[in-house]
């Protein structure tokens, strides 16, 4: 078992670091690895920085150990792996986050920056390699923020190919990952199944927008989810802000006296909990 045999130098290759976000969770992956040799990445070194005082609260979803056909990926963590000097066997793979004691910090959970280093170890056929795309890891942040992802090349060489040369890197869709808070009013959304015209101002689900709907909106004016007079039928905003206000009135006005908007069964089911 060896750490990826070096190959003869070839033309520079490019790999894409992929980024995605769901509320306060982000995912980092890769794509663009080609056949074994100079076109395959051997190791990654990335710096993630959170803005606005947000901190990294967790990291997960990473592979641990050697890459195999049944479990491909980057599961070697150069900054923290423990190897028995007598046997050469790994005694603890530990974590992809590099410790503060190494250059290029600070880097730690519950801080605004982490340095993540991952490598690949495999033997035998190319089918045991990391493959051509996949997920490197996921992380969580403490609050809405923008996380920037950069290649750490000063101390760790960035993304290294199997020919031991640094690989060019692109980001998809971007090296900036925007994290937003989960919508606390997700269940106050309009009832699209039974009352499809409701987001157009049809508060009573009759397929028309008129004075009846205006009266429902007035009765629930400035009321919030959970209050006695709140009627979800008057909350026309598909962003589900949990209150009835001028935004809802403007939606009703934009569709005033329109007919033939329905198609549901004329009933509106309001949620009882958020």
* The predicted structure's pLDDT at residue 172: 95
Domain membership flag for residue 194: yes
* The predicted structure's pLDDT at residue 265: 75
173 CB-contact burial (10 Å; exposed 0-12 / middle 13-18 / buried 19+): exposed
Of 11-20, 35-44, 148-157, 261-270, which has the strongest mean pLDDT? 148-157
Res 9 pLDDT > 60? no
Q: Which of 160, 179, 198 is the last residue of a domain?
A: 179
- For the chain, what is the mean pLDDT? 85
In 113-247, beta strands by DSSP E: 113-119, 133-141, 145-151, 160-161, 168-172, 176-179
Domain membership flag for residue 261: no
Same domain, 120 and 226: no
Q: Which of 147, 179, 211 is the last residue of a domain?
A: 179
Same domain, 35 and 160: yes
Same domain, 192 and 171: no
Average pLDDT over every residue of 82-103: 86
Domain of 100, in residue numbers: 14-179
Res 70 pLDDT > 60? yes
Average pLDDT over every residue of 3-29: 74
Domain membership flag for residue 153: yes
Q: How confident is the model at residue 219 (pLDDT cuts 50, 70, 90)?
A: very high
Cis-peptide, bond into residue 86, ω within 30° of zero: no
Domains held by the chain: number: 2
Average pLDDT over every residue of 48-65: 95
Domain membership flag for residue 5: no
Q: How confident is the model at residue 47 (pLDDT cuts 50, 70, 90)?
A: very high
* The predicted structure's pLDDT at residue 8: 40
Same domain, 94 and 145: yes
Same domain, 195 and 167: no
CA atoms in the 13 A half-sphere facing the CB of 34: 10
Is pLDDT larger for residue 227 or for residue 112?
112
Whether residue 132 contacts residue 55, with contact meaning beta carbons closer than 8 Å, is answered with no
């Amino acid at each position: 078992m060896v750490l990826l045999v070096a190959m003869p130098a070839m033309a520079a290759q490019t790999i894409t670091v992929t980024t995605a976000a769901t509320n306060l969770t982000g995912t980092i992956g890769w794509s663009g690895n080609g056949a074994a040799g100079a076109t395959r990445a051997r190791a990654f070194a990335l710096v993630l920085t959170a803005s606005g005082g947000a901190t990294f609260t967790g990291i997960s979803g990473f592979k641990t150990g050697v890459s195999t056909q049944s479990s491909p990926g980057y599961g070697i963590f150069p900054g923290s792996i423990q190897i028995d000097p007598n046997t050469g066997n790994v005694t603890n793979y530990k974590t992809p986050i590099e410790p503060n004691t190494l250059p290029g910090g600070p880097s730690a959970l519950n801080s605004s920056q982490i340095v993540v280093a991952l490598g690949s170890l495999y033997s035998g056929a190319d089918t045991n390699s990391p493959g051509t795309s996949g997920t490197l890891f996921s992380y969580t942040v403490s609050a809405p923020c923008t996380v920037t992802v950069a290649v750490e090349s000063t101390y760790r060489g960035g993304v290294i190919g199997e020919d031991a040369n640094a690989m060019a890197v692109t980001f998809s869709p971007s090296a900036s990952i925007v994290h937003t808070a989960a919508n606390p009013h997700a269940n106050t959304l309009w009832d699209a199944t039974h009352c499809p015209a409701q987001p157009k101002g049809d508060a009573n689900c009759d397929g028309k927008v008129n004075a009846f709907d205006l009266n429902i909106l007035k009765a629930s004016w400035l009321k919030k989810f959970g209050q006695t007079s709140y009627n979800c039928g008057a909350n026309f905003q598909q962003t589900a802000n949990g209150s009835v206000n001028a935004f809802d009135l403007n939606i009703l006005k934009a569709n005033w006296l329109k007919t033939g908007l329905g198609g549901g069964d004329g009933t509106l089911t309001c949620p009882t909990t958020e």
